[in-house]
Structure 1
Amino acid sequence: MIVRPYTEQAEEACYRELQLPAGKLHVYASEEIFRSLDYRVFAMANNNLQIPGLTYMSYTPDVHVGEGTCIGTTAVWNTDGGYVSPSIVGSDIGCGMRLHLTNMHRDELRDIRLRRKLVRAIDHYLPAEEHARGHYSDIRLEHVLIKGLRGLPNKYVPDHYTPKQSTSLTHVECARYRFDEGVLDRFPDRVWHRAHRQLGTLGGGNHFAELQAVEIDERSRELAERWGLFDGQVVVMIHSGSRAWGGAVSRYGTTELLKVMRRLGLGTADPKLVYAPLSDPSAQAYVQLLYSALNYAVASRHLIAYAIRQACREVLGTAFEMRTLYDLMHNYAWEEQHDGSSRFIHRKGATRALPAQHPDNPSPYLETGHPALIPGSMGTSSYIMVGQPGGRDNYYSICHGAGRIRSRSATKKLVSVRDFAAALGVGTEDEVVVNHRSLDALVDESPQAYKDVDQIIDSVAGAGLAVPVAACRPLATIKGVSS
């Protein structure tokens, strides 16, 4: 990434307020990215702004068209009299990022044969879609849904026996989301069975697990080292969500809230934009189920990391370790306190990035602000950022990734396997090893399908929302296959 100073002029260039017919839209993007935005994102914003009581709406630079609402949206209501929208949460509730620090240097993985061996081992331990029947039979799904990480048996929390050094339960956005457990009875056995078999699985699409190498940003070196990062360090990044359980919650919420909309005479020009007053019993049931999906998502990412740790220790030996740096989500809605008032905030493809001393930081990160994890696309860098005080203007929301510029079908038509292979450095000593013999099935996840992640990071930093702490260069990638 080109290093540039972040000035007041840069902040002005990376932010604009637009007056749409239905209300104001705040856009955080450089001039170049702003001019490249699909006109449909503004039509979608105008529909969203027609929902009653919406007090604030913004786009981050990775914004792109979604169903009902764009990915890259932050939408805010006062909790009292507010609304909830499954469309502005997204179908993969609790989808988010997790990063683990290892005790290895990238030079130890220079041999491509060793990287391939690691990928094969991880592919064996980490299914993309479902585990075999009986796998994780000692984990009770209701415990995970109700207790989150704290619902897992101790055997799956490798550092549970050293609580003073444990990071599994403390270095996360939230280890447990509390809710009314009675709502869990609304789903039939088949949903429970499928959700249990998908617990700790990766999924397809843009989800991944990746071995990466750290390159610290000189402007943030002191903070990076305080967090335990060092140049060349191998880290493990995970991107996944709430799988079958979250999908069931999303479908339930969409169906039930559509009934509320018809009963109350609500609607916009977009029939796929679903919402309802928080005060409605059906909306409350959806919110409670949403929290159960957040518990599922954070526990599932933890189990993905557990499987990767098992695979790496099998190949590299028992001296290999993986310490949790952070786990956070970018598809959800929940209540937050801002300026002494309760707000109900939706983030769809938007990451919360709190600065130092913000009281919502988990205690290990109160003094520094927490790591904000931003994935790139296949073959490009991902980033670790930290929120800045200026993020307050955007309810501390930043980007969640690079953001698509092409649909999956369009990417398959426009990008050749040869171009994709070149982006991964296939045939060179720096090849990003992938767990698929053929890249045909993954072309729709090639870098050419996404915006330039470096420009996204520059926009966020230029707007004063967050700054980069380190780039994470890919070494090996585990992917499911897009559906």
Structure 2
Amino acid sequence: MGTLHPLSGEQARYEHEVELPGGRLRVYASEQQFATLDYKVLEMADNNLHIPNIRYMSYTPDVHVGVGTCIGTTAVWSEKGGYVSPSIVGSDIGCGMRVHLTPLHKRDLQDVELRRKLVRKIERHLPMEAHARGAFSDIRLEHIVRKGLHGLPGKYLPDSYTPRKSTALSHVESSRFAFDESVLDDIPDATWHRSHRQLGTLGGGNHFAEIQTIEIDEAQRATAEAWGLFDGQVIVMIHSGSRAWGGAVSQSATAGFGRAMRELGLGTADPRLLFAPLDHPEGQRYLHLMYSALNYAVVNRHLIAYAIREAFRDVFGTKCELPTLYDLMHNYAWSEQHDGLGELFVHRKGTTRALPAGHPDNPKPYRSTGHPALIPGSMGTASYLMVGLPGGADNYYSICHGAGRVRSRSATKRLVTVEEFAGAMKIGTPEEIVVNHHSLESILDESPQAYKNVDEIIDSVTGAGLAAVVAKCKPLAAIKGSK
């Protein structure tokens, strides 16, 4: 399906342009990865390219089939005449990554039993059940969805009283998304109740918190040190999203966008692909609700980190602080300025924004270096801290968001044994990656064998000149939630 347009230059080995009936798709992947792409991802791209007025669409190397749109998609419209698509945002609105630094070295966690003790402490502070009230019942949800991190009581911003050292509000992609709050009037009481009970929980699927140790890439040592990193440092990486709140927003969009598309005579070959003009009432309603879900998501990750901080202090003493390195999203849509192109509306579904040094959209602490781009691997494999490069402008500064699934959950359970999973996690050895689940069988569908090789994904991103590796992160312990 489609016609391949060869590109020239060294980086062309990692860039491919495919002419489809609906338009042109750019794919960032090595030749080997490109050759193994599922036919379905091109079919889904063609459906997306049939949305009116689309000006650009690309896939990152971790691309895989999703609902309506593949995970690993960047899609761009001009603000004027633009469209918004819940399908190109994804159902877990605001899903993203967060990393906190610790003062610890990997030798401080060399003992497997100490890692187990830390994991047990994390379970004590971090609600594991999706509907557990947990430790955050004193937080008012309406403040969270309206004000983001600024809606939290002061006790949940432990470094806010030392502005020179504070990272809670400054070291994030955005601490608050403003929107028309009148859209909240139609949110059912049940959604408010369920979302409040889920605040500060990981959720199921590929969401996690992981304790890792880093190896700095020598070529980016100056950047790493500017970020406060050192070789062997222990860090905490968190992956979660907007939980029940974002799910409710996505579900409500299905009916509303369906009506709008019928009224406007819009549609593609895929009935699950939803979209509407940006200036349509349904498009506007979704936008404002989506921003409320982005507020929820960043606070959710913050509270997970807060609970983990308390566990670290239980084990290593009250002087053990966990400042924020960065928090960012990989499921969202918003307006961006790009040189010479005017105001654009950019969707990212399973792609990460990676801005280079000097870009004006970097948060103030990262103006001179570029912000950290946080890329998780699969359970038991490496993750990466990266920084955007100027060449990323060709892809609107989008890079991968992880490894990307290579087989479904059901197929993984059929094809991968518990013994193979245990081997990947080094169970029973001094290098064991400690997991909070007592039965590996219960999380078998999240084994490394379910995902693409993250090192090969990163190789494609660096080979294409989109971003550079600052540090490689190796897991010491993993905490998985439940649905």
Contact map agreement 1:135 1:197 (CA 8 A) in 2: no
Deviations 1:298-333 (A, max 9, x none): 011000000001111112211211010000000000
Aligned-pair CA distance for 1:11: 1.1
Aligned-pair CA distance for 1:252: 1.1
Aligned-pair CA distance for 1:36: 1.1
Aligned-pair CA distance for 1:279: 1.1
Contact map agreement 2:30 2:460 (CA 8 A) in 1: yes
Aligned to 2:30: 30
CA RMSD of aligned residues (A): 1.1
Deviations 1:139-185 (A, max 9, x none): 11111111100110110001011011100100000000000010011
Aligned to 1:454: 455
Contact map agreement 1:309 1:321 (CA 8 A) in 2: yes
Aligned to 1:198: 198
- SS of 1:322's partner is coil
Which stretch of structure 1 is more off in the superposition, 129-138 or 58-67?
129-138
Aligned to 2:414: 413
- SS of 1:411's partner is helix
After superposition, the Cα gap between the structure-2 partners of 1:389 and 1:141, relative to the gap in structure 1 and judged at 3 Å, is same
Aligned to 1:54: 54
TM-score by structure 2 length? 0.97
Aligned-pair CA distance for 1:135: 4.2
Aligned to 2:252: 252
Aligned-pair CA distance for 1:16: 1.1
2:204 equivalent to 1:184: no
Q: Which runs of 5+ in 2 are unaligned?
A: 1-7
Contact map agreement 1:144 1:299 (CA 8 A) in 2: yes
After superposition, the Cα gap between the structure-2 partners of 1:87 and 1:321, relative to the gap in structure 1 and judged at 3 Å, is same
Amino acid at match of 1:229: L
Deviations 1:327-350 (A, max 9, x none): 000000011111241111100000
2:118 equivalent to 1:118: yes
Amino acid at match of 1:151: G
Distance 1:74 1:326 in 2: 22
* Counterparts of residues 343-354 of structure 1 (less than 5 Å): 343-354=344-355
Aligned to 2:5: none
Aligned-pair CA distance for 1:132: 3.9
2:381 equivalent to 1:385: no
Aligned-pair CA distance for 1:480: 1.9
Aligned-pair CA distance for 1:10: 4.0
Distance 1:71 1:432 in 2: 28
Distance 1:237 1:137 in 2: 24
Deviations 1:182-213 (A, max 9, x none): 00111111100111111110000000000000
Contact map agreement 2:133 2:198 (CA 8 A) in 1: no
Amino acid at match of 1:347: R
* Counterparts of residues 199-214 of structure 1 (less than 5 Å): 199-214=199-214
Aligned to 2:465: 464
Deviations 1:259-317 (A, max 9, x none): 10011111101011000111111110000000000000001100000000111111221
Distance 2:219 2:134 in 1: 49
Contact map agreement 1:253 1:283 (CA 8 A) in 2: no
- SS of 2:192's partner is helix
- SS of 1:369's partner is coil
Contact map agreement 2:183 2:285 (CA 8 A) in 1: yes
Aligned to 1:66: 66
2:363 equivalent to 1:362: yes
Contact map agreement 1:128 1:204 (CA 8 A) in 2: no
Aligned-pair CA distance for 1:126: 1.2
Distance 1:222 1:342 in 2: 33
Distance 2:314 2:91 in 1: 35
Aligned-pair CA distance for 1:123: 1.4
- What percentage of residue pairs aligned between the two structures are identical? 69
Contact map agreement 1:148 1:176 (CA 8 A) in 2: yes
Amino acid at match of 1:235: I
- SS of 1:52's partner is coil
Aligned-pair CA distance for 1:128: 3.1
Distance 1:107 1:10 in 2: 41
Contact map agreement 1:373 1:385 (CA 8 A) in 2: yes
- SS of 1:379's partner is coil
- SS of 2:103's partner is strand
- SS of 2:455's partner is helix
TM-score by structure 1 length? 0.97
Distance 1:134 1:125 in 2: 8
Contact map agreement 2:374 2:384 (CA 8 A) in 1: yes
Distance 1:135 1:396 in 2: 38
Distance 2:49 2:128 in 1: 37
- SS of 2:326's partner is strand
Aligned to 2:440: 439
Amino acid at match of 1:383: Y
After superposition, the Cα gap between the structure-2 partners of 1:218 and 1:9, relative to the gap in structure 1 and judged at 3 Å, is farther
Aligned to 1:321: 321
Aligned to 1:4: none
Aligned to 2:140: 140
After superposition, the Cα gap between the structure-2 partners of 1:222 and 1:236, relative to the gap in structure 1 and judged at 3 Å, is same
Aligned to 1:261: 261
After superposition, the Cα gap between the structure-2 partners of 1:10 and 1:426, relative to the gap in structure 1 and judged at 3 Å, is farther
Aligned-pair CA distance for 1:136: 2.1
After superposition, the Cα gap between the structure-2 partners of 1:355 and 1:134, relative to the gap in structure 1 and judged at 3 Å, is closer
Instruction: Give the number of aligned pairs.
Output: 475
Aligned-pair CA distance for 1:131: 5.5
Distance 1:37 1:20 in 2: 15
Distance 1:418 1:161 in 2: 49
Distance 1:330 1:454 in 2: 19
Amino acid at match of 2:351: A
Amino acid at match of 1:441: S
Aligned to 2:238: 238
Deviations 1:392-449 (A, max 9, x none): 0100000000000000000000000000000000011000000011100111001110
Aligned-pair CA distance for 1:137: 2.9
Contact map agreement 1:183 1:289 (CA 8 A) in 2: yes
Aligned-pair CA distance for 1:133: 4.1
Aligned-pair CA distance for 1:368: 0.6
- SS of 2:323's partner is strand
Aligned-pair CA distance for 1:218: 1.1
Amino acid at match of 2:121: A
Aligned-pair CA distance for 1:9: 4.7
Contact map agreement 1:214 1:472 (CA 8 A) in 2: yes
Deviations 1:231-252 (A, max 9, x none): 1100000000000000011111
2:13 equivalent to 1:13: yes
Q: Which runs of 5+ in 1 are unaligned?
A: 1-7
Distance 1:58 1:475 in 2: 34
Contact map agreement 1:47 1:270 (CA 8 A) in 2: yes
Aligned-pair CA distance for 1:130: 3.4
Amino acid at match of 1:139: I
